[in-house]
């Protein structure tokens, strides 16, 4: 085989590999982080201020898995207080697993979520309000 045919063969193999990669890339599923990301960015100052307030508390909110149950514990300052807000379980690789749950903490600042969260890795965004102050905290949990 002459060198001309070898060059054509190498080029054909290369072109077919590129074609295959383009074909596979069209089948890749991807999602935006948030459907309304522009509006979320405009409200980001709320997150910054809430995070700073949460850092000033004695402890950070904790979320952990206890058997089949997922438990949220707010800082001690939130005990016996009227707390409102929401918890977002954000799954980066599958938006169908995302859950937004309203806060309904007990007098000890604790809430149990039961088994409504499917297994996966979640960024947990806790946005809560006590009195006229807003708080925000973010952590990660792996649910089994």
Residue 86's CATH number: 2.60.40.10
**How confident is the model over 47-66, as pLDDT tens digits?**
999 999 999 999 999 999 99
**For 116-128, how does the pLDDT look when each residue is reduced to its tens digit (9 = 90+)?**
899 999 999 999 9
Helix extents (H) in the chain: 3-26, 37-42, 44-55
Any residues with CB less than 8 A from the CB of 93 and at least 6 apart, and which? 120, 121
Q: Are residues 47 and 18 in the same domain?
A: no
- Looking at the structure, do residues 104 and 136 belong to the same domain, yes or no? yes
- What pLDDT sits at residue 136? 97
Please give the Cα distance from 38 to 42 (Å, whole number).
7
Q: How many domains does the chain have?
A: 2
**Pair 71, 116 in one domain:** yes
| Same domain (yes/no): 77, 9 | no
Task: Say whether both 26 and 47 belong to one domain.
Answer: no
Q: What per-residue confidence (pLDDT) applies to 33?
A: 67
Return the bridge partners of 138, or none: 125
Domain boundaries, position 112: 37-143
What is the pLDDT, as a whole number, of residue 32?
65
| pLDDT at site 131 | 93
Q: Which distant-in-sequence residues (6+ apart) come within 8 Å of 129 by Cβ?
A: 83, 84, 85, 135
Examine the domain organization and report whether 26 and 44 are in the same domain: no
Which pLDDT score, from 0 to 100, does residue 99 have? 94
Q: Are residues 103 and 118 in the same domain?
A: yes
This prediction's pTM? 0.75
The reported pLDDT for the residue numbered 86 is 97
Do 128 and 109 belong together in one domain?
Answer: yes
* Residue 26 shares a structural domain with residue 45: no
Q: What is the pLDDT of residues 2-52, one digit of tens each?
A: 999 999 999 999 999 999 999 999 987 766 666 777 787 888 999 999 999
Q: How far is CA 74 from the centre of its chain?
A: 19
């Amino acid at each position: 085989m002459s060198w001309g045919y070898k060059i054509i063969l190498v080029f054909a193999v290369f072109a077919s590999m590129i074609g295959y990669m383009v074909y596979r890339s069209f089948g890749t599923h991807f999602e935006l982080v948030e459907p309304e990301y522009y509006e979320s960015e405009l409200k980001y100052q709320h997150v910054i201020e809430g995070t700073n307030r949460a850092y000033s508390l004695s402890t950070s909110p904790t979320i952990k898995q206890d058997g089949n149950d997922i438990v949220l514990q707010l800082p001690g300052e939130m005990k016996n207080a009227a707390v409102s807000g929401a918890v977002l379980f954000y799954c980066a690789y599958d938006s169908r697993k995302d859950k937004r749950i309203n806060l309904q903490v007990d007098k000890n600042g604790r809430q149990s979520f039961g088994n409504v969260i499917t297994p996966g890795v979640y960024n947990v965004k806790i946005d809560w309000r006590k009195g006229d102050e807003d708080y925000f905290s973010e952590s990660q949990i792996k649910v089994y």
